[in-house]
């Protein structure tokens, strides 16, 4: 009887250690792969948040500019000083971002929508492009363009 115990104990010696080391290696590879995936997902979500913040800040800056200048949009008003009816530029630092506004007059001519109603000598219209580029401190930049049109009296273009 003593002889049988010795045979069974001798043949199984170290098998549990080998199996546990193999399982430990497999689990380590699984954990490392999961960590790499998690880090990648974290970077993607950070970039997505930066883009969302920049887009929102650019849109807010454009809305503030348009709201501040209601009634001022006219042919050539961008060249005038603010005190003489020129453009008013609101704050350009929003939610950890810096916003750069560039406003250009892209056209001026007959107001096509109203020609059929008022005749060829009727109202004119000035078209403007308001571009806002938002840059957040941690990196990333987004640009938004908004067009706007303002009616003008006949002969002002």
Q: What is the DSSP string of 116-151?
A: HHH-TTS-EEEEEEEEEEEEETTS-EEEEEEEEEEE
C-alpha span between 125 and 154 (Å, rounded): 9
Q: Helix %, strand %, coil % for the chain, to 5?
A: 50, 25, 25
Along the 157 residues of the chain, how does pLDDT read in single tens digits? 455 555 555 556 778 888 999 999 999 999 999 999 999 988 888 788 888 888 888 898 899 888 888 888 888 888 888 888 788 887 777 777 888 889 999 888 877 765 555 555 677 888 899 999 988 877 788 899 998 888 887 777 7
**Contact of 101 with 128, CB cutoff 8 Å:** no
C-alpha span between 70 and 67 (Å, rounded): 5
19, with CB counted inside 10 A (0-12, 13-18, 19+), is exposed
Question: pTM for the full model?
Answer: 0.67
**Contact of 118 with 139, CB cutoff 8 Å:** no
Instruction: Count other Cβ atoms within 10 Å, centred on residue 16.
Output: 9
């Amino acid at each position: 009887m003593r002889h049988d115990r010795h045979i069974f104990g001798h043949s199984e010696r170290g098998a549990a250690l080998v199996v546990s080391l193999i399982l430990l290696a497999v689990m380590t590879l699984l954990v490392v792969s999961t960590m790499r995936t998690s880090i990648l997902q974290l970077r993607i979500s950070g970039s997505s948040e930066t883009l969302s913040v920049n887009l929102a800040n650019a849109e807010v800056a454009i809305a503030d500019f348009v709201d501040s200048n209601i009634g001022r949009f006219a042919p050539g008003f961008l060249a005038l000083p603010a005190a003489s009816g020129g453009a008013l530029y609101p704050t350009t630092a929003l939610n950890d971002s810096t916003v750069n506004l560039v406003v250009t007059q892209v056209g001026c001519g007959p107001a096509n929508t109203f020609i059929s109603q008022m005749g060829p000598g009727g109202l004119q219209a000035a078209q403007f492009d308001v571009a806002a580029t938002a840059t957040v401190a941690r990196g990333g930049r987004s640009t938004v363009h908004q067009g706007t049109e303002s009616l003008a009296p006949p002969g002002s273009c």
